[in-house]
């Protein structure tokens, strides 16, 4: 198999996949005698990324691997394919998610101490159902409260490879602007996956 053929296989597999693919997953689609090694595969991915730069679709690396998605600058046009718009995320949900992302592992009680109000069970459930947070363990104190942290799905959704790429707290000045970014991200996911049926967050 030539390098161009390997490149075409990688492109086709990533286009067909409904989720990000790690290097090992991409390699697994090849027969033993035609499989590129890790270095060669990385060069193929770098070439594809360059090929799609500046186009309507881009190859993006996120925490779980590589995926094709609609370029952010064109997402507002693509989002018009779906009539229903996702609900905006409440300030309470954004504050809860931000505290988990920046202070993990963190308990529900610790979140409530910072926010000064009770954290709604529906907020925690919604974040878990979206796959953005999970229970990492339990605090070794009376009652053994759950410790929450973010997931790979959280990183994937926001186009992050790791938590180190989160904006600094100094950069987050207005939660309403974050809400716009979340809606924007929703458009991107719908456009990338064609899945308009994922329920939005509870208000």
Per-residue pLDDT tens for 158-167? 888 899 888 7
Confidence class of residue 174 from pLDDT cuts 50, 70 and 90?
low
Confidence class of residue 83 from pLDDT cuts 50, 70 and 90?
low
Looking up tokens 């987050």, which residue turns up? 172
Query: Distance (Å, rounded) from C-alpha 116 to C-alpha 180?
Result: 25
Per-residue pLDDT tens for 88-121? 678 889 889 999 999 999 999 999 998 888 898 9
Percentage of the chain beyond pLDDT 90 is 57
Give the pLDDT of residue 192: 41
CB 48, CB 7: distance < 8 Å: yes
Q: Is the pLDDT of residue 190 over 60?
A: no
Would you say the pTM of this structure is higher than 0.85?
A: no
Query: Distance (Å, rounded) from C-alpha 135 to C-alpha 108?
Result: 11
End-to-end alpha carbon distance in the chain: 53
Pairing of strands 106-107, 133-138: unpaired
Confidence class of residue 176 from pLDDT cuts 50, 70 and 90?
low
Looking up tokens 């597999």, which residue turns up? 13
Query: Distance (Å, rounded) from C-alpha 118 to C-alpha 187?
Result: 31
Name the helix (H) or strand (E) containing 49.
Answer: helix 38-52
Rounded to the nearest integer, the mean pLDDT of the chain is: 82
Measured CA distances, 41 to 10, 36, 105 (Å): 9, 6, 35
Give the pLDDT of residue 78: 86
Percentage of the chain beyond pLDDT 70 is 80
Give the pLDDT of residue 172: 56
Query: Distance (Å, rounded) from C-alpha 142 to C-alpha 125?
Result: 23
Query: Can you tell me the mean pLDDT for 30-48?
Result: 95
Query: Distance (Å, rounded) from C-alpha 90 to C-alpha 175?
Result: 9
Peptide bond into 169 cis (omega under 30): no
Q: Is the pLDDT of residue 122 over 70?
A: yes
Measure CA 26 to chain center: 19
Query: Can you tell me the mean pLDDT for 40-52?
Result: 96
Per-residue pLDDT tens for 84-93? 655 567 888 9
- Residue 183 tokens read as 């809606």
Give the pLDDT of residue 91: 84
């Amino acid at each position: 198999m030539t390098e161009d053929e390997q490149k075409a296989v990688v492109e086709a597999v990533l286009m067909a996949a409904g989720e990000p693919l790690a290097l090992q997953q991409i390699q697994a689609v090849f027969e033993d005698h035609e499989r590129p090694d890790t270095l060669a595969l990385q060069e193929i991915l770098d070439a594809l990324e360059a090929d799609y730069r500046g186009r309507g679709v881009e190859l993006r690396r996120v925490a779980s691997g590589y995926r094709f998605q609609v370029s952010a600058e064109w997402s507002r046009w693509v989002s018009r394919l779906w009539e229903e718009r996702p609900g905006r995320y409440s300030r309470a949900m954004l504050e809860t998610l931000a505290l988990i992302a920046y202070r993990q592992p963190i308990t529900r009680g610790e979140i409530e101490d910072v926010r000064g109000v009770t954290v709604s069970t529906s907020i925690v459930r919604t974040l878990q159902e979206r796959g953005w947070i999970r229970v990492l363990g339990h605090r070794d104190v009376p009652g053994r409260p759950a410790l929450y942290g973010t997931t790979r799905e959280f990183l994937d959704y926001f186009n992050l490879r790791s938590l180190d790429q989160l904006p600094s707290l100094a950069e987050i000045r207005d939660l309403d602007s974050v809400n716009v970014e979340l809606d924007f991200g929703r458009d991107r996911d719908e456009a990338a996956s064609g899945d308009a049926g994922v329920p939005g967050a509870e208000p």
